[in-house]
Structure 1
Amino acid sequence: MTKTMIGVIGGSGIYDIDGLQDATWQSVESPWGAPSDQILTGTLDGVPMAFLPRHGRGHVHSPTTVPYRANIDALKRLGVTDVISVSACGSFREEYAPGHFVVVDQFIDRTFAREKSFFGSGCVAHVSVAHPTCPRLGDACYAAGQAAGITIHKGGTYLAMEGPQFSTLAESKMYREQWGADVIGMTNMPEAKLAREAELCYASIAMVTDYDSWHPDHGEVDVTEIIKTLMGNADKGRALVRGLPALLGADRAPCPHGCDRALEFAILTAPEARDPALMQKLDAVAGRMLTASS
């Protein structure tokens, strides 16, 4: 058994967590650059928590410029074991209405202007993201959402687009009708892939703000309406997060789905051929495996 530490990455509209005891904003240095902001740490119902505003307080980072590698690395350095991503999304399903939440379990990655891995020349690794989220953690988020009175749906495919512009009507129809996506957003990739490389359990909560542009009765995305829905969703998101410590508990067994052992057979580069400079940068993300093989 190890100790649970919950990390929350808050998307648009969520810039803090209510009820944290001994709450402190602290700077965390990362060899992958500066994280989006300082990280708010404290305890909630006896369980350590860390909160990172994905876009920074004041919303200073666009989806493309969010420092995803630094964010995941910084959470890992703090001792986070379980990462909950909370983000605003559009919906491709009539039944996933604005104000509803979706526990995402699959992704289609259409981003193209972001660094997507901690590994590369000097240390090659291939992790599986066939199942990119942790079912155990997703179940806890679903239960917390239900307990908070939120209309929450279990399971859904998130289409990650580059942005920052919203979809064209043709794209929206294609993603919905031909590709079978359920929600669309701009920030969960490469975040989910990096969490898997860092051997962190990861769950994604999509907070629906709009119907993208496919819906015949809603037309194009209206930012004013999105912001209005976003504010209500932010309160619901904080309520969901408040219920997680009681569900996850202070003590943590190894992940039954192997998220915390994702690098077990993933690193291919022989120890003697690894780049020392990259090894130093990987000390938090892959320290467990690198120490074992050195």
Structure 2
Amino acid sequence: MTAAVLGVMGGSGVYDLPGLEDIREEAIESPWGEPSDALRIGRIGDTKVVFLARHGRGHRLSPSGINYRANIDALKRAGVTDLVSLSACGSFRAELHPGLFVLVDQFVDRTHGRAASFFGNGCVAHVSLAHPVGPVLQGRIAAAAEAENIVIHRGGTYVCMEGPQFSSYAESTTYKAQGYDVIGMTNMPEAKLAREAEITYATIAMVTDFDCWHPTHHAVDVASVVAVARTNASKAARLVARLARDFPKEREACPAGSEHALDGAVMTAPAQRDPALVAKLDAVAGRVLRD
């Protein structure tokens, strides 16, 4: 069995993880470039936890400037089996109000120009993203929230826009009409890459605003987002701490198939594979490429 290692990706307003003990920092080198920051590796209770600030400490990286492949590759090299994404977001539903946590289970990708796969010419692979969130991991987050009396909404669709600008009114009303629940700028291609790396993924979407569709909320501004994000960050730390304390010692099977997402996914015949690309895939896909 594989030992469970909990990864935590800190989004806007979450640049550290209170409660993490026996901390060491490790700057893991990735063949995909430079991760957002050094990994902070420690434990909460008996669970090994690896924290990475998605935007870097000090929020130096824009959503479009994040090296998503390097981040996921570094977490994989650190042994992460389950990754919880803490992500600020806007809401398209009145009942999903600022301060509420939403456990989304679907994503719509509206980004452009971001490297969205570890694979490509020379080593082609296709993984299923029908169910991008691990149901068991999401259930554990929900149980931790209940134990900590943190109100959550379970289920929903997160549409990922490119940014860094907030939505236009036309975009906001269009996404609302299409039935999406929340909007953010970072969970794609992060969720796609986590699946390719066979890491179970789940998002805690932390609502900071109503985007700009709401009749009493005509525009989003950084000051109001940051104010809510700070409050959300303290709740998120409490939620993650409880999740980690109750986390299993061994990796659990994922009904969405996260841990064996690459089984049968590689299309390129061994003789036709690009050795340079295969070498870069050692952590992400070594399990199947070495067979």
Superposition TM-score, scaled by structure 2 size: 0.98
Match of 1:168 in 2: 168
Q: Any gaps of 5 or more consecutive residues in structure 2?
A: none
Cα distance in 1 for residues equivalent to 2:206 and 2:20: 22
Aligned residue pair count: 291
Match of 1:221 in 2: 220
Question: Is this contact kept in 2: 1:106–1:131, CA < 8 A?
Answer: yes
Instruction: Return the letter of the residue paired with 1:167.
Output: S
TM-score using structure 1 length: 0.97
What is the 5 A alignment of 1:105-254? Answer: 105-177=105-177, 179-254=178-253
1-structure distance, mates of 2:170, 2:142: 32
1:9-42 deviation per Cα after TM superposition (whole angstroms, max 9, x unaligned): 0000111111222111111000000100000001
Q: Distance in 1 between matches of 2:236 and 2:281?
A: 32
Q: Kindly provide the CA deviation profile for residues 208-248 of structure 1, in whole angstroms up to 9, marking residues without a partner as x.
A: 00000000012111221111111000001111110112332
Matched residue, 1:279? 278
Structure 2 matches for 1:50-89, cutoff 5 A?
Answer: 50-89=50-89
Q: Distance in 2 between matches of 1:21 and 1:225?
A: 32
Once the two structures are TM-superposed, the CA of residue 266 in structure 1 deviates from its matched residue by 0.7
What is residue 21 of structure 1 aligned with on the other side? Answer: 21
> Structure 2: which amino acid aligns with 1:38?
A
Distance 1:2 1:27 in 2: 24
Return 5+ residue gaps in structure 1 as ranges. none
CA contact (8 A) 2:132 2:256 kept: no
Residues 148 and 236 in structure 1, CA contact (< 8 A), matched pair in contact too: no
Measured in 1, the distance between the counterparts of 2:64 and 2:94 equals 28
- The alpha-carbon deviation at position 256 of structure 1 amounts to 3.5
Deviates most, 156-165 or 219-228: 219-228
**Matched residues in 2 for 1:206 and 1:227: separation?**
15
Q: Is the 8 A contact 1:12 1:59 kept in 2?
A: yes
